[in-house]
Amino acid sequence: MRILVVGGGGREHALCWALRRENPDADLYCAPGNPGTAALATNLPIAADDLDRIADAADMYGIALTIVGPEVPLARGLADRLRAEGKPVFGPSAAAARIESSKAFSKDVMRAAGVPTAASGTFTDLAQALAFVDRQAEPLVVKASGLAAGKGAVVCETRKEAARVARGMLEGSALGDAGREVVIEAFLEGEELSVLGITDGRDVVLLPASQDHKRLGEGDTGPNTGGMGAYAPVSIATPALLERVSRDVLGPTLEEMERRGARFAGVLYAGLMIGPDGAPSVVEFNCRLGDPETQVVLPLTDGGLTDCFERVATGRPPSPLAMPPARFAVTTVLASRGYPDAPEKGAAITIPDMPAGVIVFHAGTRLDEAGVLRAGGGRVLNVTGVAATFDEARARSGAGAAAIEFDGKIFRNDIGWREAARR
């Protein structure tokens, strides 16, 4: 079997790791991949959003299954392109990917489907946005509607700040085209939870629920980032809660997408806020696996992913995954000093041998001409600890993160603190 993974971050390294484990003899390719995926797959020097060259590569290498990691190529129509050429691809069409690439669209789908989410308004006109802000309670959240690589949502303590952020986005300077339309919504109290479902647009196979840590600093302080660490499973995600999420969130959303002629096949990622009363509300939908959630969720599976992806890619319902009981995973992100605004680049990285139960996933690394592994900026590595208890998984992740060395390494030592506090 010839499989192509599109993307080059920690998520795609984790995908290659899981696919290789299930398919020791497969020809595995990754475009563009990274030094981590190079140990598991053949890296192809093609940018993930270079649709023409990805389609050519799928031809040239006789790829039987393409799995698309990031949102940008999906939003640009990579899955449509491959499907039109008769090539099986796991990932939604551009029309379905709008559930992530347009927050305005996503809010509209939720409203029509009766899915619980924060009250909001959508604006392209600054005067109307400012008038709306004036009528809202504080705090509130201002979001660029378009794709902004995790930088598009700003939690604002005051109306004054919200007005300033909305102005920055709508006047075009802050986030370019992504911010020419904004969603302004009520702040939701509670605890965040990521629920990822593999779906053909009707049936859903849930992956274990996970929790990301968006803020840069320990104790959830500082600016939002792409995510500083994650763990899975999460004890608040009881079977009853997941049942409720399937019934009240995923099911109605998929039905509404199909009704709009944009049936969603791929991973539907519901970013939820679980309120103090235990009720889930949707903070955002993503159209793909999360990063760093993938780096904890895939190590919890024991097989069945390739089949499941392949079935959905060929228009069939997803099949169940093998999920051993009593396995926990925690991942710690190592980033470069200056992240997320201006990360330093180029530091040489030393990764010592890791004990069993620790997996190092590469995110932003590169090999220089001399073969030295260097930080490429931003999120550099993920250290995933896997164990039979949460505490042990957490200890393994933390110890691995501490043992890796590079100048300017930053990481949070408190990943999973909410779960630890519950124990």
- Applying CB under 6 A, does 340 fall inside the site for ligand AMP? no
Report the candidate in 416, 390, 408, 373 with the shortest Cα–Cα distance to residue 34. Answer: 373
- Applying CB under 6 A, does 143 fall inside the site for ligand AMP? yes
- Applying CB under 6 A, does 81 fall inside the site for ligand AMP? no
> 300 with 294: CB under 8 angstroms?
no
Which one among 118, 174, 313, 375 touches ligand AMP, defined by CB under 6 A? 118
- Applying CB under 6 A, does 187 fall inside the site for ligand AMP? yes
> 253 with 281: CB under 8 angstroms?
no
CA atoms within 13 A on the CB side of 220: 11
Residues 268-297 that bind ligand AMP (CB under 6 A): 271, 283-284
Distance CA 408, CA 373 (A): 15
When CB distances to ligand AMP are compared, the closest residue is 153
Complex with ligand AMP: residue 148 or 206, whichever CB lies closer: 148
- Specify the stretch interacting with ligand AMP by CB under 6 A; choose among 27-35, 53-61, 123-131, 150-158: 150-158
DSSP sequence for 329-381: EEEEEEEETTTTTS-----B-B-PPPPTTEEEEESSEEE-TTS-EEE-SSEEE
Residues 193-222 that bind ligand AMP (CB under 6 A): 214
Complex with ligand AMP: residue 155 or 402, whichever CB lies closer: 155
Report the candidate in 92, 69, 65, 76 with the shortest Cα–Cα distance to residue 9. Answer: 69
Q: How far is the CB of 348 from ligand AMP (least distance, A)?
A: 33
Distance CA 334, CA 406 (A): 10
198 — phi, psi (to 5°)? -90, 125
- Applying CB under 6 A, does 152 fall inside the site for ligand AMP? yes
Binding residues for ligand AMP, rule CB under 6 A, total 15
Q: How far is the CB of 210 from ligand AMP (least distance, A)?
A: 13
- Applying CB under 6 A, does 224 fall inside the site for ligand AMP? yes
Interior/surface letters 58-75, b for 16+ CB within 10 angstroms, e for the rest:
beebebbbbbbbbbbbbb
Angle at 289 between CA 187 and CA 193, to 5 degrees: 35
Complex with ligand AMP: residue 270 or 386, whichever CB lies closer: 270
- Specify the stretch interacting with ligand AMP by CB under 6 A; choose among 75-83, 168-176, 183-191, 363-371: 183-191
Distance CA 320, CA 418 (A): 29
Complex with ligand AMP: residue 20 or 418, whichever CB lies closer: 418
Complex with ligand AMP: residue 215 or 260, whichever CB lies closer: 215
Which one among 138, 161, 192, 218 touches ligand AMP, defined by CB under 6 A? 192
Q: How far is the CB of 339 from ligand AMP (least distance, A)?
A: 16
- Applying CB under 6 A, does 182 fall inside the site for ligand AMP? no
- Applying CB under 6 A, does 100 fall inside the site for ligand AMP? no
Q: How far is CA 21 from the centre of its chain?
A: 22
Pairing of strands 373-375, 182-186: unpaired
- Applying CB under 6 A, does 153 fall inside the site for ligand AMP? yes
Residue window 48-67: x/- pattern of binding to ligand AMP, with contact defined by CB under 6 A? --------------------
Q: How far is the CB of 271 from ligand AMP (least distance, A)?
A: 5
- Cβ burial, residue 38 (10 Å; 0-12/13-18/19+): middle
Complex with ligand AMP: residue 118 or 175, whichever CB lies closer: 118
Q: How far is the CB of 356 from ligand AMP (least distance, A)?
A: 33
CA distances from 130 to 41, 141, 170, 186 (A): 51, 13, 11, 15
Distance CA 212, CA 163 (A): 28
- Specify the stretch interacting with ligand AMP by CB under 6 A; choose among 43-51, 186-194, 305-313, 377-385: 186-194
Element spanning 185, H or E: strand 182-186
Residue type, 210: S
The residue ranges that bind ligand AMP (CB under 6 A) are 118, 141, 143, 152-153, 155, 185, 187-188, 192, 214, 224, 271, 283-284
